[in-house]
A and B are shown apart, each in its own frame.
Chain A
Amino acid sequence: MTEKADFLTGDVAAGQPPRETFVLNLGPQHPATHGVLRVKMTMDGEYIVRAEPVCGYIHRMQEKMGENRTYAQFLPNTSRIDYLSAMTYTHAFVGAVERAAKIPVPPRAEYIRVITSELNRISSHLVWWGAFLLDLGGFTPLLYAFDDREKILDLLEAITGARLTYCYYRFGGLCNDVDDSFIKGTREFVAHMRPRLKMYRGLVTENIIFRKRLEGIGPISQEMCRKYGATGPVIRGSGVSYDVRRVEPYSAYPEFDFEIPTFPGGDSMARYLVRMEEMVQSLRIIEQALDKLPAGPVMADKVPRVLKLPAGDYCYAVEAARGRFAVRIVSDNKEIPYRVKLRTPSLSNLSLFEEASKGMLLPDALALMGSLDLVIPDIDR
């Protein structure tokens, strides 16, 4: 890591403790953290000696809440852990309960779950894209991103009734079927989004100022990802092809043909490119799912009104927009679970920040933080 040493002032580079440091609090209210995350930074001038994330400002005890209410009553909470990918989070919880209670899900419901989850992934990435560029100093891309995201939100609002906290999946299926206007609208959206992504490439990805801000900045090695359990675009940006949709196939994903985009760079640019490519792949999945969408019911026949899971330990993982989200339910054959464990990707992705940001310039560290795509309620949950 000789490159890193160049960033440092004389003291730290020479292996000496810095003579004079000061503590800079980034947050808890700071526009670059997009939420209430506090990072306690020990600075040597503009260089970071140590950046210590302080979590817990928005802790809502979601896991504890899961332990004192029934499964159906906890379901709306799952949309509120990572509010940007509510669909996938509900999917994990619903999937865990279905796996435990052995509820078969009709194929149409599984397909619609895939379509809505992928739409949700695109909308989540669009928010990240806009906000990330906002962090880097570009305001306009946010407006382009929100224009496109609005189309997804309108589609999802028409079928679920909500724009962010969807709570659309149920144990055994979905609460509503989709109508023809949704299918038509989604096809139109896919056709609309492809040229837009091309436009994004011209506007941002190929912009030289943008590339200079990101290329080689904030390298995260594969080893570091493994050490901290980083998943999602962060690990794929380090060249590891790890995607829950491939390694632990769930729902209807094995039936679709899609690629797992990986970039070996490990820098912020690689993580950026992974997400941009993921949107393309999501569009592919949506298109295939719409073509193959089977007819039939969207709800399983026999779902007990009062749900009691047989005693045991159940886990279900999904690939959320930020990485691997897993729900673990420990049941003791009661209406209320004994334990609900939520494994959220943002917490793991954040925990490598301290090591990765050592010796970086402050604005570069913010670029690194933006490329991790942190959602603070997802960290604290």
Chain B
Amino acid sequence: MKSALKEIAVGFNSLITGMRITLGQFFKRSVTLQYPHESLKMSERFRGHIELVKDPATGKAICYACKLCERACPSDCIIVEGAKLDGAKKRSVTTYQLDFTKCSLCGSCVEACRDGAIRFSHDYNLASLSKEEFVMDLFKRLETEREEEERREGKPASAVPVAVKPEAAQPAAGQTKVEVK
């Protein structure tokens, strides 16, 4: 009898303690975000999929297709092709294919690159209904970006520069499938 009463008292006490903690939460600030309407800024070192870096002087890709990244990749998801263009001293990249379905975002490619020609993008809203959209040609992507920028600069000064939206994975139109080595 006595122990049963004691148990009730202890049980009631633990109930009150729990309720007090829960009640306290009502007066605390909310820690969540309403995601599609608000989103967090990605940290500086966030590892998204890789992208090519532009040379600020020429506006073209720094990459000259040395293929170090291709060799460093543990999942064989990068295929780089380069060619020596007429009148150029160095080779330059012509295709930079990233199969993002195979990529594990380890960053070995970025570390292997000696010239800082690739970096992590901050894109994280990557969703698609088809697998092919994740096979991206980063070189083409960079070129389209550059062309768009040039077009914008070419416009009269009255045109308000539109903030560049973080692009989602660009559908690689007309791209052939990656051959498995």
Contact = CB atoms under 8 A, between A and B. Distances in A.
Interface of A: 69, 72-77, 80, 140, 147, 150, 154, 157-162, 165, 167, 175-176, 199, 202-203, 206-209
A72 B73 CA distance: 10
A66 B97 CA distance: 26
B127 interface: no
A147 B46 CA distance: 21
B170 interface: no
A73 B21 contact: no
B170 to A, nearest CB: 23
Nearest to B40: A154
B46 A157 contact: yes
Contact of A208 (B7, B47, B74, B111): B7
A190 B21 CA distance: 21
Kindly name the residue among B7, B21, B120 whose own CB sees the greatest number of chain A CB atoms within 10 A: B21
Contact of A73 (B10, B14, B108): B108
Nearest to B46: A161
Given A158-B43, A158-B45, A208-B7, A199 B107 contact: no
B106 interface: yes
B59 interface: no
A74 B74 contact: yes
Contacts of A203: 17-18, 21-22
B104 A161 contact: no
A360 to B, nearest CB: 24
A76 B21 contact: no
Contact of B106 (A76, A147, A154): A76
Interface residues of B, number: 23
Given A160-B45, A175-B111, A165 B17 contact: no
Nearest to A202: B17
Interface in B81-133: 104-108, 111, 120
A161 B74 contact: no
A49 B79 CA distance: 56
B17 A162 contact: no
A60 B47 CA distance: 24
Interface string B11-46: 100100110011000000001000000000001111
Given A157-B45, A158-B43, A175-B107, 11 more contacts: A72-B108, A74-B74, A140-B22, A159-B45, A161-B45, A161-B46, A165-B104, A199-B21, A202-B21, A208-B10, A209-B14
Given A157-B43, A158-B44, A159-B45, A75 B17 contact: no
B72 interface: yes
Given A175-B111, A208-B14, A167 B106 contact: yes
17 contacts: A69-B74, A73-B72, A73-B108, A76-B74, A76-B104, A77-B74, A154-B43, A157-B45, A159-B45, A161-B45, A161-B46, A165-B104, A167-B106, A176-B45, A207-B14, A207-B18, A208-B14
Contacts of B45: 157-161, 176
B10 to A, nearest CB: 6
Nearest to B20: A202
A313 B101 CA distance: 36
Contacts of B31: 147, 150
Contact of A75 (B18, B46, B106): B106
Contacts of A75: 106
Nearest to B11: A208
Closest 3 pairs between A and B when the two form their complex, measured CB to CB:
A76-B106, A73-B74, A161-B45
Contact of B107 (A147, A161, A207): A161
